[in-house]
Structure formats: structure tokens, C-alpha cells
Structure 1
Amino acid sequence: MDGTPSQLTTAHKRLFPLIPLWLLIPHMLCKDHINKYKVNDLHLPLYEYHTFYQPGDLITGAIASQTFLAYSSTAFTEDPRQALAEELAVVTKNYQHILALAFAIKEVNENSHILPNITLGFHIYDSYFNAKGTYQSTMKLISTGKKLVPNYKCDNQNHLIAVIGGLDFQTSLHMATLLDIYKIPQFIYGSAPVMNVKNPGSLFYQMAPNEGLQYEGIISLLLHFQWTWIGVLTMDDDNAEKILQTVLPAFSKSGICFSFIERSPTFTFLTDYEDMIQQGLRIHDKIMGSNANVLVCHGNSYSMVFLMWLPQLSKTAKGKVWIMTSQMEFTSMGYQRTWDKQIIHGSLSFTIQSNNLPGFQEFVMSTNPSGKTRDGFLRDFWQQVFSCVLPNPTLGKVEEKICSGDEKLETLPGSFFEMSMTGHSYSIYNSVYAVAHVVHAMISCGLRQRVTVNRGRLKSQQQESWQLHRFLRGLSFNNSMGDKVSFDHNGALIAGLDIINWIVPSNQSFQRVKVGRMDPWAPPDQAFTINEEDITWHTWFNQTQPLSVCTESCQPGHSKKMKEGEPFCCYNCIPCPGGKISDAKDMNDCYKCTDENYPNKKQDLCIPKEISFLSYKEPLGTSLAFFALSFALVTGLVLGTFIRHHNTPLVKANNRSLTYTLLISLYLCFLCALLFIGPPEKVTCLVRQTAFGIIFSVAISCVLAKTITVVLAFLATKPGSSMRKWVGKRLANCIVLSCSFFQVGICTVWLVTSPPFPDVDMHAAAEEILLECNEGSVTMFYLVLVYMGLLAIVSFIVAFFAKKLPDIFNEARFIAFSMVVFCSVWGSFVPTYLSTKGKYMVAVEIFSILASSAGLLGCIFSPKCYLILLKSGLNDKRQLIKRGQ
């Protein structure tokens, strides 16, 4: 019970306001007035019963959390002190906290190096997990002897120097409210309270690491296993508000979404159980109905009692991965002895780092209710943990099982009691040593003159506990296990956290396995470590790593598209658009590859583009080079044939110089095609188009000159013709030079204004980087082609009209046909050239050069070679005249 008026029965609402009245007792109240005020009449018998005292020169107080009191409403028809407390329930696992404090006090008193000649004692009270019990127990610690008289000290019996507690944050808050007034140091071994202006709590020291480290560890754990869709379960208290407002936003910033955030009802013995069952069913259905397989649970030490209650509500429970905070312990109440604990099998928990202290287990095993002890906690613990009743002469004969007193604690299940020291017990152990070291330091630093020893007891001239704070702020020491104990500027212990895997086999035993840690001294990127192979998952997951996401990961090649109105972890996966890729899972958007790469078919990888140019090494380049050389060789053979038969009538009849010039031009045209093969270089880019244009212009000019010469020669044979003066080599040479010179002028302007240059085209082909010659000025390039086409058309027209002249003079028929071939090739070149890219564009131009040149060579010279080589008898002047007639 948390003590708030809204949760109390009518009787408690009347009783609870009496507690603050204790603070109104006058400060100078003397011993004789105690009976007059009857303050002790408020004490319940159980509140006096659960205490553990060991005398000493200096007393360390402690508030334990072990016993729940069950109440029922009363009509005050009888003594309310007897009617209110009907039964109790013991959180048996917390009894180790009491043993840890007693063990630490024993070690300190036996250590001659710490506080020599001074003994430490302790006085432990129970908080009963409620505000009233905590306030009353705290007031008893700071009061005189056994009398509850605040602000008054009748003798020097109380030498309280520090108080250890509490386990949950509400207990710590109630304690801090009172201890802060008296400046008494408070060592909190559980979670720190949520302080406010009215309750500053500036004088407590947290013996657990700062909670910020724990939440960083939880986020790192979730991100490590890619658990981005989780549920959150907290207790319905003030600490839950702190978590919702300050902690969970950090989860969202790390990309973690929440399927649900639920608050479990606070576990008290004043709860409306019908309402609690309804809330439990609702939370159970929310947890089991969610597709989140991971749940972060933040609560106090006994929250596990509620978690183990959930599977009892329904048989439809399925496995979940519970991530517990360090405040939670695997604990059970007595009535949960036979309950199925598989719900927490495979859970992960952050715990305070602890060590197994030498001699502690022996000390625990020596605990026995049969011996004489001042331990008021032991009797109820023993009875509930072993389900028996210790003999009590006042009760007479009982029907329950009688405890022998020889039961063994080591036989108990881990959910009821553990022999190895837990994290909270280790914090209590360190708290005792912190008190001892700080008192030792205070005495060693010159304050001995203010402290005297009288009859073996420490007698202080004034209250000294407040002076401990100055030494505590700089306290740093190594405990008996070599672990360093020191506080940060906020009074929190600087220590790491262990990550524990809870394993609950079918026999309901319990095992802790350390699988990782959070190290505050390590670099940020190395603070979190986890050993996945050591983790045992819940059997529901078949020993495979659980998956907890709202949406299955978008595979590479896809991107996320948010679902409207849903958390950002819930999305659809859509394929990447053309030209883009995503090379990782769950990418928010696809991106383009660099210019040097292109997407593969799955659009999940950028592949380096291949360098593309027309190479001699590939079949296309080799074939074109072969044809170019072959045609050049044929042209050379034709030229040689004509030179060898240069005196024959057939060679003479058609202007030998023009014939030789044409053959040389065609020879160079074929060789010119080789300039287009191979990687583009600065020289080849400058030369190849201009050389091709000029050489072809010379060839066509020769064809035009030959045609015109044929026409003029025919006209000159007519009687009285004035054309005779034009017949001769001068006119032919003039035509060739003038027509060629004009093309040279065009090419010169091209090279001067905007010359071609080597270029790289990254975008023309999706999978290739094109090495090409940029023409510089496309206009000039097409102007060269247009001019060649104009010459070819003129040659065709002239040859067409001259084709019916007598054969003895006439080769116009062959020229006309060659011009048809030439114009057809270059006419189809333009659209084909424009529709291709890269090396295929170059191949089209080479093919056009070879085809048009071969057309000229074949159409014009093949008939003549036929006559020269195969019909040499016809290559005679008389035969030519005869054929002409």
C-alpha cells in the first residue's frame, strides 16, 4: 500500500492523518511527558515485532522492505489495533537484504584497519511497503531509544550516523522527507525517488548506478537485436510519469516505436480485487494480442508478483521477451509457490553488478530460528518460505505443519530465496562499507578532538552525522572484492550493470546467466556488450532470435512508405523507381548510383559501368578493320593495275590523272576508317572527321570532274563546237581543286572555332561509360556531310544525262550508278547515326565510309578491270572504235 488517502479504507482514512501529528510534538518534550501523550498507543503490534537490533558504538539504521500487511475495514466496534492487521505476506527473497547488512557489519567489526576500537551496530525496521510504516520506522530510528519522541533526546543511547534504504522509490522518498530535516545521510539501495521542491532529498546517496545508464543499455539492447516495435509496462505511480515524459522520448529518437504503453495496478492489500482482475485481463489481452514480441517492464522489486499473475488469467499466453529493469527481482509470494513461471523464461534483465563474497553463503546457511537472535524478521520469513509454523507456547497446539528449525535455505527455489548475493544485497553491503570508510576518514582528518570515547562507547559533543556529507562527496575506496566504490556529482554510484538472462527450466528452478554488460568507463561505442550465443530464448521462439517489428524489414531494392496515422515503425515496402537502388534494409528512400555505376536488376546494388569504345579487340572492331584493310588492298591492286596498263586506250580514254587521284582518294578513304577504331584520343578526334570529309570530297570531285570531262569531250567532237578549248587536264584539275578547297575551308573553320575533342558520356547508356569524340560543333559536322552530298548529287545529275553518250568515251553510266549507291548509303546514314550511341554510332559511320567507298570502287573500276585483265583483247583502240561505231 502506498499510503495515499484515495487508496485507504474508511478506518485508514481516519488513522492516516494522525501520523503527521508526531511532528507537532514540542522539540523540548521531556521524558516525564511521554506517558501523558500516549504516542506509543498508535503502534500496531506487528510494527514493534519486525525489527532487528545489534548494539554498537555507532548505529547504522536501515529500512527493509519485507512484509505486506493485509487489512480489512472495521466499524471500530473493537480495538482497531487488533482488527486492522489480520494477516501478513512476506516477500521472502528480500530477507537476504537483512542478512547482507548484518554480514557487512560483522566484517567491518572484525577488520582492525577500519574504525579500530569502535564497533558498528545496526537497527533495522520494516517499511511494510506503505507510507505509514515507512514514516513510523524512520521516526523510530531518529528518536530516543524505544520511545517515539521526535526532536527530543533524553540520553545518548542513539548514535545513529546513517540510514540505509529503501528498496522502492516511494519508500526512499518517504524516508528522505524526514532524514533531510535532520541532515542524516541516506544510502538508497533501490531506485532513487522522484524529488520535487517540497522534498529536495539532497542528502541521499544512490548505491545503484544512475538510471540513465540503464536506459541507454536498454536502447542499445533493442537496437542490437533490431527490436523496434515494443510494448511498455510500468507501475501506476509517480515514477511512471517520469519514465513516460523523460525516458520514452529517447526511445523514439532512436527509432523505437510502441505497440502499447500500459500501467499495471499498484499491488497492495487494499486493492479492489474485482477491479484489479479486470485491469489484469485488459493488460493480458493487450500484451497477448500485440504483435510486439518484446516488452520493456519497469517496476519495483515486487512487480514480478503481478507479472506471474497474468498467465493465470488465461491459458492463451504466448512467449514474449521481457526486458526488466534493475529494480525488479525474480520473486514470488508464498501463494505463488505452484504457479507456472514460464512467462519469464528467456527474459533479459539489467542488474547491479555484484560479486559472490567469501563467507557470505556460510553466514546465510548459519541462519537458524532455533538459536537466540534479535532478528524479528526471521520467524515470519521462515514460516512462509518453508510453509510451516514455528513452535509458539502461547498458541498451544496448531494444526499446520510444524517447522523443525533445521530446514535448509539452500533447498529453496530461486524465486523465494537465493544463496548467492543479489545486486540489491551487494548495494547494501557497499553502503555499510561506505559508512565505515567515511566515519574512519572523518576521525582521521582531525575531528578526533571533538569525539571522546566514554566507557567503550562513542560520545559526541554534538550531532556529527551531518558532517559525513563533506566526506561522502569525495569518497572513493575498494571493497573487499576489489570493486571501486565512488559517487558522481549527483550522489549516484559510479558502477556498471550486468545483463542477465533468466532461465526457468520445467522443474521451476531458477538460473541467472550473465550475457552482457554496460560499462560506464568504456568508450561510448564500447559501453554495451552482449554475447548472443549465451542467451536462451523462450521455448515459444524455438531457440531462434525473436523478431519484434511492426513491419517486416524492407529488403534491399525497396524503400519504406509510411502508413498514414500509424507509428513511424509501421510502413509499406515499395520497389525502388527505375535508376535508383537501396542497398540496405529499411531504407527511407532509394538513391541514384554515381555516374560511374548503374543499378542491377534487383536494384539493390550499384555495378561499375564498363568502359565502352570501338576496340580492335572486339569482333565488331576487328571485322571493320579487316574490311577496311581488305578494301584498301583491293584499291591498291586496282591502282597498280591501272599504272601497269597506263598506256592502254582504256586507261587513257578517261583522264589517267583523275583516275589515279580517285583511286588514291578511295585508298585513303578505306584507311581513314581505321582512325575511328580504338580509344578516342586528342589527335585522332581532331583528324578523323576532317580527314574523312576532305578525302571524300576529293574523291567525289574527281568523279564530278570525270563526268564533266566526258560531257565536254562529247560536245567537243561536234563540228564547229566551241567546247574544244575546255577539254583538257586544266579543267579537270580546276574542278577537283576548287571543290576540294571549299571542303578544306569548312574543315578549317570547324577546327578553329569548335574542334572535336575526346569526351566521356556517363548518361547515354545505362550500363556503360562511353568514350567518344565529341564533335565540338554538330553544325559543322553536318555541313561537311551536306557539302559531300551536294557534290554527289551534282555528279549524279551530270552522269545521269551523260549515260547515253557513245560507250567509246562514256563511263558516265557507271558513275551514275556509283552515285546512287553513294547517296543511298549516306542518306540512310543520318537517321541510323542519330538513333545509335557509343561504339555503334562509330560503327555506323565506318560502315558508311566503307560501303560508299566500295560502291565507288566497284561501280566505276570493276568494269574497267574486267576489260583490262580478262578481256585484254578489247583494250585496243581499233576495237574501242569498232565498239563505239
Structure 2
Amino acid sequence: MGWITCILLTLLAGARWNDRELKFARTMIFTVEEINRDTKLLPGVSLGYRLYNGCGSENLIRAAVEAVNGADLKGCSDQVQAFLGHSSSGVSEDINIILSPLSIPQVSHLSTCACLSDKRRYPTFFRTVPSDHFQILGLVQIMKYFDWRWVGIIYSKGLYSEEGTAKFNMEAQKEGICVEYTLPYAKTNLVQLDAIVQTLRESSSKVVLLFIPLSFTKSFLSEIENYNITGKQWLGSESWITQADLASVKRKGILQGAIGFAIPLAYIPGLGEYLLNLKPLDEPQSTIIKAFWEKFFDCSFSPSNTTMCTGTEDLRTVSNDYTDVTQFRAENNVYKAVYLVAYALHALLQCKNGSNPTTGKPCVNKNEVQPKLVLEHINYVNFTTQNGAKVFFDENGDSVAQYDLVNWQMKEDGSVEIVNIGQYDTLYPEGEKVKLKDNTKIVWGGNSHEVPRSVCKEPCPPGSRKAINKFKPVCCFDCFECPEGSISNKTNSPHCLICTPDFWPNEKKDKCLPKPTEYLSYKEILGTVLTGFGCGGVFLSLLTSIIFLTHKETPIVKANNSELSFLLLFSLKLCFLCSLTFIGRPTEWSCMLRHTAFGITFVLCISCVLGKTIVVLMAFRATLPGSNVMKWFGPAHQRLSVSAFTLIQVIICILWLRINPPFPKRNMKYYKEKIILECALGSAFGFWAVLGYIGLLALLCFVLAFLARKLPDSFNEAKLITFSMLIFCAVWITFIPAYVSSPGKFTVAVEIFAILASSFGLLACIFFPKCYIIIFRPEQNSKKHLMGKIPPRSL
């Protein structure tokens, strides 16, 4: 039977023996023996091995040189085919520098530094543990998953920690995660420890990434447990996150709720029994086994003051890293590393039709095996171990990246349970690589049951924009409320969007809503009140007309030109009615109607008043001896004058409507947040021409009435006309500045008020005194009284 040698370099650090490294060494021996018992994997070939112990990297490098030179390899061929190890990334780097020129493959079970994936520098390096590159990507994704955007990092000197921290900073920045502080830790530097403690107490970040090797973690926790550091969510690397023995009584408050990625849990049949069945008598020449035994049972094989070791003690009675066989994680990587070499040899020794079926090259027998051939076939390896672990490598010599996401949960009895709460698998699609288990209870830092919040600045809510502050980390941005008329409908929006002219932001400024339209409506109080007054004016005018009609034969009605009085009352009804055209949603027809109807009806009204005034003056002139003036202003002439005055206004209105008529308009300038529906004048000249003509007639009427106010005639109503014209002119003079300065629907309300006020002024001043006499003073409604010397009583 031929022998092919593989060597595991294992570190039993310093004067303090490393239980975990002994476990790795024994796992390697178990796996070699399992492979050698397999008659199918390597028929006719057995694996040999040699274990090297070193106190630090220098001794291990010396051991590598010895192995390469073939020194003292009992029971093995002189040719070393592969190296297994080391646990430390820094030591593995140094060893590979020696092995690469000789084309000897090196397979590590625990060297995770991403730097070792550089095939130009480390062409013969492989590993069965995932690269820290994948672990760091996973850590970044888990922070992104829980929305931890503001974190701190504690690292140590050394290739593993320094490279990992640098890589984390780079990947975190890509995902918008900011690092508040990055603090180095050294076992003997108290100044650095004080700085770490002070920073942990004063920092605002709630999440702390502890990316340091296991030995440094034990030292760090031993120091930090003396300080009251609570309320932090610790995030651990795979180097220490599954080491339950780290949780001393004082540390339980610190590590409660810690989360991190661990090498996947595995089951290796028979390994637990094999480890626990170790006896010093099985390795009588091994001083290392005796040293561990003395450490495990606090005894000695040589005479001393301590208890003597018998060598038959039961390992099941002690608890340490070596005897913990409830779960295997890193041990599975050792198991896979040994099988990797075996499968590479299996592929190398295959022969079919005179050539190797994998490479197509000539067949190789077991005596011609060379390390460079083993190295070549490792690249092609793709197999599944007996416990279901898949092994293959990418172009960088890295294996499949799979992690368990674990959570530290303290039990009531004080023990620690490391609970698997999810997985991270790079074989899953983007966005689905992190998966949490359903219905799994997670305990967070500070024994909280709610996900901690760790951000430098809370996200800018919709309605504001995010502005980067160049003097602060990208996560410590500023939030500014969107300016007037703009919105943002996303969290952390970098810009605010301006609403279109027909829209305006809501109160939260996260949505553009159609602007409310404003116009004087019948349904609102102001519109209802004005409508009521308009209808009331129509009613009073109609009532007055009825009173005059029923008493048309009485002296007071006959004496005041009943024909013009009835026409005036008719025009007043139209004036009151035209005020209603100003209320309601403006349309093309209503805009043209309201201004023209108002202009024409008021001219008709003023023309009637003007006619009555002229009649008064003519009546006085007619009483003079030899005067024949009344024949020039009889009823026909009165009708003609009223028609002529009105016709002029009709012509003005027609020209206005033909040239540039009023039209409905959406006024968006006066109010930014709402739209005023109004009637644009079209031609401002036309509007002011209509008003100017009304004003001219009113002024003429006022002047004539004023001149006739003291004429000695009992029929004289010039005083009443004077007073009514005074009210009319005052209203419309006041209307102009009020109309110009009033906003929105109040512009229309002012115009309606002016129409109603002037109409009521005419109705009240000219007709109410007569109605009073007709109804309440019928004795004064006689020809004798009107012709008498006694002037009529007035209100």
C-alpha cells in the first residue's frame, strides 16, 4: 500500500495550550483514518500525516520548511503533497510565500482574510472556510436589513482584523452605512482601552462591530466587563460569535443579544465519541497530549504538589472547547479540507483509456504523484462529504460562502444559548441572501425585544429634502422642508418637485392636490345673504309697483309722473335681478350677461330718474306766465329720452361684446394655494366706459335735482331724487377702490353690494315716502293737500 503525505500545521499558542487547536488536530486524524478505511475513495493508497506544534508564527514557518525538506516524516513518503492549515490568516500568508514557489497546495480551515484570495500573490492557497469578503458582505447586508446606518468598529492589530475592517468600511460606504468610529484594541495598551470605553459611552451609534480574533476577544471582554457598558448591540465576526464560554457572569449583560455570522453547524458521525475517547496511553510519546491532560484535569504526571494523573480520567467530566461536542462548525472545515486532498488524489489517479478523464492528460500512477499535480486537480474538485457538505472552489480558491446567523440569548439559569435565527447564502439571488427564520424569537442588545435604532440622522420624511453636509459623514445629512409650492413623496428625497399650476401641496407637502376653486356660490353664507337681499329688493319693488298700481288714480301717484315711476320700478326690479347673475360659477354666458345687464339696467334706471328730474324742472318753468315749455317735454319726449339714453349704453355694450367681451378666467396669481374663478373684463376700456356712462348720467341727474330741490312746488320730488343720487354716487365712488383691492370672490361681493345698495337707495328715497303717505297718511293723498300752501310732511 502506498503512502501520500499531507500535513496539518496547528498552533498551540504559547505557554497556554489552545483547546480548539487540539480539537482541530484530532479532527484531522479522525478524518484521515476515516478516508483510509474507505476502500472506494483511494483504493491501494493511504494518507499519512504529521502534526506540527509551534509557539507563534516563527516556529510554524520553520516547521513548514522542515516538512518541505522531508525531515523526519516517519511512515510517509519523502514528498509532501499538501499542507493543511493554518488557523491564523497572517501565519497562512507567511507559509504560502514559502510553499508557492514549490507548487505545494495549502488548504486552510480557518484563515478567512479576504487578502488571501489574491491568486497572483497566493497561487497555491485554498480554504474550506468562506473568505471574509463574503462575511463582510453579509455583515453589511444584515445592517442594511435592520436599517443600522450608524455603527462603530473595534478591531485589533493583525492581518485578519485590519484587512476585514478596511474591507467593511469600503463595502459599508457603498450601501450608505457610516462608521462613527474605528478604534484599535491592544491587549497591553491601557490608553487605547480608555479611549474605547469613553467612546462607547459617548457615541450615538447603538451598534458595535467587534471584528477581532478569539484570543483578543477574550482579553477585550475581560477588560471591558469592569465598566458599565450597556445598551449596545454587539455584532460579532465568526472568530468568536459561537464561543459560549466568553459569557462570564459580568459579561452576560454586555453580550446579551449579540448577533453575528457563524460557520454553519454540521454533524460529523463518530467524531464526538472519537474526541472524548482520547487517552494519554493512545499517544504515549506525545508530550502535547500529556500537557493538555494535565490542564484539563488539573493534575500532573510527574510527582508534584498537585494531584497525580492516572491517564484514565474521563473527558466527559470536564467542560472546555475540546470536550464541547454538541455542535461542530470549524471542525467541519477541517473535515472538508482533508477530504479535499483525498478527492484531488482520487481525481489525479483516475485513468481511462490511457488518459485522465478530468484533464485529458496521460495517466499518473501513485508513485508519480507530485504536489503540482495535486494542486492542478484541486481546482477541479466538486464533491459532497458523507455529512452532506458540498465542496468546490471559485476562481480565487474560495469555497461556497454559507453562514448561520446566530443570536446570544441568556437562559434563566444563567447559561448561554446561541440560537440560529437565520442564514446568509451567496448562492441565493441578490436581495434574498439574508433570510431570517420564521417565528424565531430574537433578543437584542440590552435585553430588548425591539430592533435597536442606530442612525446618525433619522430619514428625511416626505415633504422634505435630504441635503448632504460635506463636513459630516454621508449618514449625518440635513433635512430641509420643501419650499412653498413643492413636494417630496419619498423618504430621503434629494429634491423637491414643483407642483403644476393647477395643483398645490397638501399640509404635509408629500402630495400635489388639485387646487380648490373659489367663487361666490349660492351655497355659502355670503352668497345666500346677497341672494336674499337681491330677492328682497325685487319683492319690495314689486310690492311698491302693486301699491302704485292699485292707487294709480290717487293724486300723489298722478302728480309724480306715474309712467316714469312704473318704468323706474321695472328697471329697479331688473337691477336687483342682475345682481343674481354675479353669484355662481362663472361661465362664458354669465360673464357677458352680468356686466352688460348691469350696465343697461342701471342706465335705464338713471334715465328714468333723470327724466323725472327734467319733468320737475319743466313743470316749474311751465307755471311761469307765457311759458310753453311742457309741450317740448311731454310723455312722448320722456319716453324718447329714456330710450335714447339707454340705447347709448346698449351700443357701448354691443361694441364691448364684439371687440373683447368678458370671459371666465382661472386666476392663479392672487392666491398660490387656490384658484379664483372669475370673469375677466376682456376689454377694461369697455368696462370703465359702461361705468363711466352710468356715472355721467348719475352726476347730471344729481346736478339737475340739486338745482330743483328748492323749487316752490308741492309736487316737487327733487329733494328725494337729490338724496337718492347722493347715495348712488357715494356708493359707486366707494365701490371703485373697494373693487380694485378686494381679493377673489369678495371682488364680486363688493360689486353686488354696490348694485344692491344703490338700488335700495333709489327705491327707498324715491318711493318709500310716497308709499308711506298712501298707506299710513291717506288724508295727505289729496289734490287739496298737494296744491295747498302747507308743504307735505316728509320722512
TM-score between the two structures when normalised by the length of structure 2:
0.83
Partner SS for 1:68 = coil
Which shifted more, 652-661 or 697-706?
A: 652-661
Change (3 A) 1:841 1:380: farther
The alpha carbon displacement at 1:350 in A equals 1.9
2:705/2:718 contact within 8 Å kept: yes
| Cα pair 1:672 1:688 within 8 Å, conserved | yes
Task: Note the C-alpha offset of 1:296.
Answer: 1.6
* Alpha-carbon distance in structure 1 between the residues aligned to 2:608 and 2:49: 124
Q: Which amino acid aligns with 1:829?
A: F
Q: 2:94 aligns with which of 167, 174, 184?
A: 174
Question: Following TM superposition, by how much is the alpha carbon of 1:400 offset from its aligned partner in structure 2, in angstroms?
Answer: 5.2
SS of aligned partner of 1:789: helix
C-alpha contact (below 8 Å) 1:304/1:332 kept by paired residues:
no
Give the counterpart of 2:543 among 625, 634, 637.
637
Q: Any conservation in 1 of the 2:113–2:159 contact (CA below 8 Å)?
A: no
Aligned residue in 2 for 1:218: 139
Corresponding position of 2:219: 306
Residue 593 to residue 799, structure 1, CA distance change in 2 (3 Å): same
1:406 aligns with 2:309: no
Q: Distance in 2 between matches of 1:745 and 1:118?
A: 122
Q: Counterpart of 2:425 in structure 1: which amino acid?
A: D
**C-alpha distance in structure 2 between counterparts of 1:499 and 1:650, whole Å:** 108
Equivalent in the alignment of 2:72: 146
Contact 2:268-2:328 within 8 A present in 1 as well = no
SS at match of 2:585: coil
Q: Flag structure 2 segments of 5+ consecutive residues without an equivalent.
A: 358-363
Out of 68, 71, 78, the position equivalent to 2:13 is 68
- Tell me, yes or no, if structure 1 residue 859 matches structure 2 residue 765: yes
Matched, 1:97 2:24: yes
Q: CA deviation at 1:176?
A: 2.0
1:272-421 equivalences in 2 (<5 Å): 273=188, 276-311=189-224, 314-329=226-241, 331=243, 340=251, 342-372=253-283, 378-384=289-295, 386=296, 388-389=298-299, 391=301, 395-397=302-304, 399=306, 402=309, 405-409=312-316, 412=319, 418-421=324-327
Three-state SS of the structure 2 residue aligned to 1:194 is helix
Q: Does 1:693 align with 2:623?
A: no
Identity %: 31
* 2:361 counterpart residue number: none
Instruction: Call closer, same or farther: CA 1:845–1:264 in 2, change over 3 Å.
Output: same
**Pair 794,419 (structure 1): closer, same or farther in 2 beyond 3 Å:** farther
Q: 2:62 is matched with which residue: 105, 121, 136?
A: 136
Match for 1:305: what amino acid? K
Aligned partners of 1:793 and 1:823 also within 8 Å: yes
Q: Which amino acid aligns with 2:733?
A: G
How far 1:170 moved relative to its partner?
0.9
Q: Which stretch has the larger CA shift, 472-481 or 344-353?
A: 472-481
Shift of the 241–358 alpha-carbon distance from structure 1 to 2, 3 Å rule, reads closer
Higher alpha-carbon deviation: 369-378 or 727-736 = 369-378
Native 8 Å contact 1:680 1:773 kept in 2: yes
Show the counterpart of 1:23.
none
Q: Is 1:127–1:171's contact at 8 Å kept on the other side of the alignment? A: no
CA distance 1:216–1:633, shift in 2 (3 Å): farther
Q: Is the 8 A contact 1:305 1:333 kept in 2?
A: no
5+ residue gaps, structure 1 = 1-54, 70-87, 149-154, 268-272, 452-457
Displacement, 1:157? 0.8
1:361 to partner: Cα distance = 3.4
C-alpha change, 1:286 and 1:852, in structure 2 (3 Å) is same
- Answering whether residue 444 of structure 2 is matched by residue 534 of structure 1, we say no
- The 1:692–1:444 alpha-carbon spacing in structure 2 relative to 1, beyond 3 Å, is farther
One-letter amino acid of the structure 2 residue matched with residue 63 of structure 1: L
Post-superposition offset of 1:322 = 2.0
Letter matched to residue 501 of structure 1: N
Aligned-partner Cα distance in 1 for 2:106–2:353: 22
Distance 2:342 2:481 in 1: 67
Residues 183-238 of structure 1 deviation map (CA, whole Å, 9 limit, x = unaligned): 23333333136369997112323434453443333333334444433222222235
CA–CA distance in structure 2, aligned partners of residues 449 and 417 of structure 1: 47
Task: Report the RMSD for the aligned CA atoms in angstroms.
Answer: 4.3
Whole-angstrom CA distance in 2 between matches of 1:663 and 1:403:
134
Match of 1:4 in 2: none
Partner of 1:492: 398
8 Å contact kept, 2:582–2:748: yes
Distance 1:621 1:870 in 2: 35
Q: Which residue of 2 aligns with 1:9?
A: none
Contact 1:169 1:193 in 2 (8 A): no
Q: 1:101 & 1:778 partners in 2: Cα distance? A: 102
Does the aligned pair in 2 maintain the 1:680–1:758 contact within 8 Å?
A: yes
The C-alpha deviation readout for 1:638-668, integer Å capped at 9, x for no partner, is 3344445555554444444443333233222
Amino acid paired to 2:236: M
CA distance in 2, matches of 1:105, 1:763: 88
Structure 1 position 817, deviation (Å): 2.0
Secondary structure of the 1:184 match is coil
Query: Counterpart amino acid of 2:213?
Result: N
**CA–CA distance in 1 between the matches of 2:38 and 2:173?**
50
Q: Which amino acid aligns with 2:724?
A: S
Partners of 2:297 and 2:313 lie apart in 1 by 14
Q: TM-score scaled by structure 1?
A: 0.76
Does 1:812 pair with 2:697? no
Pair 1:510–1:787, CA change in 2 (3 A)? same
Q: Using a 3 Å threshold, how does the CA distance of structure 1 residues 790 and 256 change in structure 2: closer, same or farther?
A: farther
State the secondary structure of the residue aligned to 1:142: helix
1:164 aligns with 2:76: no
Give the whole-Å Cα distance in 1 for the aligned partners of 2:285 and 2:700: 130
Q: Which residue of 1 aligns with 2:360?
A: none
Give secondary structure in 1 for the equivalent of 2:82.
strand
Q: Whole-Å Cα distance in 1 between the matches of residues 46 and 629 of structure 2?
A: 145
Once the 2 structures are TM-superposed, how far is the Cα of residue 721 of structure 1 from its aligned partner?
4.6
Q: Which amino acid aligns with 1:493?
A: S
The offset of 1:372, in angstroms, is: 4.5
Pairing 1:100-119 to 2, within 5 Å after superposition: 100-109=27-36, 114-119=41-46
The correspondence of residues 222-261 of structure 1 with structure 2, limited to 5 A, is: 222-238=143-159, 242=163, 246-261=167-182
3-state DSSP of counterpart to 1:261:
strand
Q: CA deviation at 1:106?
A: 4.9
User: Could you tell me whether the CA contact under 8 Å between 1:344 and 1:502 is conserved in 2?
Assistant: yes
Distance (Å, rounded) in 2 between the aligned partners of 1:366 and 1:216? 40
| Alpha-carbon separation, structure 2, partners of 1:876 and 1:197 | 127
Q: Which has the higher mean CA deviation after the structures are superposed, 256-265 or 197-206?
A: 197-206
User: Does the CA contact (< 8 Å) of 1:562 and 1:568 recur in 2?
Assistant: yes
Deviations 1:673-697 (A, max 9, x none): 3333333334333432333333333
Instruction: Give the distance between the partners of 1:606 and 1:127, measured in 2 at CA.
Output: 72
Kindly provide the CA deviation profile for residues 144-192 of structure 1, in whole angstroms up to 9, marking residues without a partner as x: 25269xxxxxx97146443333323212212221232232333333313
Relative to 1, partners in 2 of residues 1:245 and 1:317: Cα closer, same or farther, differing over 3 Å? closer
Whether the 8 Å CA contact 1:556–1:583 is kept in 2: the answer is: yes
Deviations 1:489-538 (A, max 9, x none): 33322333332222456876432122333332444333334579732234
What per-residue deviation string (whole Å, max 9, x for no partner) do you get for residues 804-862 of structure 1?
A: 23454433322222223333333333444444433444333333332322222222222
